[in-house]
Structure 1
Amino acid sequence: MSPDTKDGATIRVMTKEDYAKVKAFMKDDFYLWEPLCQFSGESVQQQNEEKNDEFHLSMIAQGTCLVAIDENNGGRLVGFVLAGAQFPEDIEQHRVEAEAMEQHTWGRTYRLLSKIEREANIFERFGISKALYSHITSVAKSMRGKGLGSRLAATLMEVGRSKGFPAMVAFCTSFFAARQKEALGMQCIHSLTYADYKDAQGRPIFTPIAPHTMARAMAIRL
């Protein structure tokens, strides 16, 4: 993929050398704004950190992750996408991993995403044997509202097509993330309302602020 530059921001494929900056960016720009983490009061990035790093680096090695660089500001990182291949057998593996996780915010989030992943079942629904999974997309606060997130998602679709993926899927916990992907042609194939996702005592496990009322599985054929 050739680098794509617009309004001073260049999007290119992420390398493992980028990961230290991406990880620092996630701490300051992703976890503080992601609806399920935002008011948790926990250091979510430190939860399951070693395995998350391993997972992220495995996706980077596939050449399916992207970074956005601000060419007008010393090459500052202003956005990224972590994405990678997903296969039918991963659904059960993720369920097992989710059930074994601790009762912290990341563990609860992973269990929620695993439930949505099983119920959406893009492989059976689309009749495919692999998909490009858009795991995390984040844009710097200073760059929001300028179309960079949409550019990252659209570029990822191009990467997916070039690598022979028949579809792309994303699990959106944010209303704005889902709306952005819908504008690019992705469809909601499954949703789960936070108010209906409860613990053993009947209490909602997540209570993010409006308009974040549900998590959605968004997908598109490539």
Structure 2
Amino acid sequence: MSKCLSQFWRTTQFVKGYYPSFSRLSSNYGENQMLRHSNTIKFVQHQRAWFMKKSEDAMSVPSTPSTPTSPAPEPYEIRAIKETDQEPVISFLRKFFFKDEPLNVAVKLIEFKDSTCVELEEFSIKSIKDGISLMAITNSGNIIGVCLNGKIDQNEPEEEEEECPNPKFSKILKLLAYAGKEGSKIIAEKYPDVEKIMFAKILSVDGAWRGKGIAKELMDRTRHIGREQGYGLMRVDCTSYFSARAIARLGFECVYELKYADYKENGQAVFVPEHPHNALTIYVQRISCTSP
């Protein structure tokens, strides 16, 4: 009996930490037990809901690739993005991606609701010409998700970094180039047999369609295209804590991490993103037919 009471006392101290009013409740053991159980469940549910919402809002992958939790409100299809789709894709990214990406937020790249960054938009869609990017589009013609993919050939020299006239976006490009090169070195050492890599640059889903499996379907289709075209790996560079968690849940392996606090110029961290975004991470997954 004393052991049970001791356990109950420790539990009440835990619950008091989240629910201060608990100490003012009736001292009746049965009532307190029921309330403790109810409050603990509510707390866990609240934390889970918060995490899932953040997972869906966060870059490089702002939406969570997950199992559908609700049916799609109308039929849609996954199809390749054509060069003629560039304008509607940019409009989609302005609404659901650019304003939430942690590095964009950290440097205030998109300061106002109607602000745009031409350099960011050009950078985001330049891989469309490769013909391996995908969109989810409804029967009524609304884009509800995009997966912008590029390709990396390990045997070809990396493109030289171009000068960017936008000082804020230039900082982001320098970080991406630095981390990208470091990650590529590790990948080349770890996977010497792989020549072609499918690079998922941006994955974003309409806020009203999240939780319906759109992101996962886009990633699955990307993987399928990669296998068909002889790519050995899929690669995702994540600047967001939540996107990294989402990609890890799909079975990707983290091969490189750069803490933002360690990326400095003149002794000062260049980026101080909002918590919990503290690192740029690079994930890969083997997709060749010889993989398990």
Same fold, judged at TM 0.5 (above): yes
The residue aligned with 2:286 is 221
- Give 5+ residue unaligned stretches, structure 2: 1-70, 111-115, 288-292
Distance 2:255 2:157 in 1: 16
What secondary structure does 2:127 align onto? helix
User: Offset of 1:146 from its aligned partner?
Assistant: 3.1
Matching of residue 207 in structure 1 with residue 272 in structure 2: yes
Q: Could you give the per-residue CA deviations for residues 5-53 of structure 1, whole angstroms, max 9, x where no partner exists?
A: x733422221222221001111121111111112533346322655x37
The gaps in structure 1 that reach 5 residues or longer are: 1-5
1:124 aligns with 2:192: no
**1:14 lines up with 2:78 in the alignment:** no
Identify, as 1 or 2, the structure richer in helix.
2
1:67 match: 135
Match of 2:241 among 175, 195, 207: 175
Aligned to 2:118: 46
2:220 corresponds in structure 1 to 154
RMSD over equivalenced CA pairs, Å: 2.2
Measured after TM superposition, the shift of residue 150 of structure 1 is 2.2
Tell whether 2:131 aligns with 1:78. no
Displacement of 1:89 after TM fit? 5.6
Aligned counterpart, 1:88? 154
The structure-2 alpha-carbon separation of the partners of 1:145 and 1:205, relative to structure 1 and needing over 3 Å to count, comes to farther
Q: Which runs of 4+ in 1 moved over 4 A?
A: none
Higher strand residue share: 1
**Percent of matched pairs sharing the same residue:** 29
CA drift of 1:75 comes to 2.5
TM-score if structure 1 supplies the norm length? 0.83
The TM-score normalised by the length of structure 2 is: 0.65
- 133-142 vs 84-93, which deviates more? 84-93
- In 1, are the aligned partners of 2:196 and 2:231 still within 8 Å (CA)? yes
Equivalent residue pairs, number = 207
Q: Which residue of 1 aligns with 2:161?
A: 97
Contact 1:69 1:76 in 2 (8 A): yes
Tell me the distance in 1 between the aligned counterparts of 2:157 and 2:173: 12
Q: Distance in 2 between matches of 1:89 and 1:177?
A: 29
Partner of 2:35: none
Deviations 1:109-160 (A, max 9, x none): 2211222222122233211222111111111222233332222222211111
Distance change >3 Å, CA 78–CA 49, structure 1 → 2: closer
Contact 1:167 1:219 in 2 (8 A): yes
Which amino acid in the other structure matches residue 172 of structure 2?
T
Choose 1 or 2 for highest CA Rg.
2
In the alignment, does 2:147 pair up with 1:58?
A: no
State the Cα deviation string for residues 155-200 of structure 1 (Å, max 9, x = none).
Answer: 2111111111011111111112211211111111001111111112
Residue of structure 1 in register with 2:100 after alignment: 33
Do the aligned partners of 1:84 and 1:133 also contact (CA within 8 Å) in 2?
yes
**Take 2:109 and 2:153, find their aligned partners in 1: how far apart are those partners?**
32
Q: Which amino acid aligns with 1:67?
A: M
Q: Residues of 2 paired with 1:193 and 1:38: CA distance?
A: 17
Q: Per the alignment, do residues 105 and 125 of structure 1 end up closer, same or farther by CA in structure 2, a change over 3 Å counting?
A: farther
In the aligned structure 1, how far is the partner of 2:124 from the partner of 2:264? 29
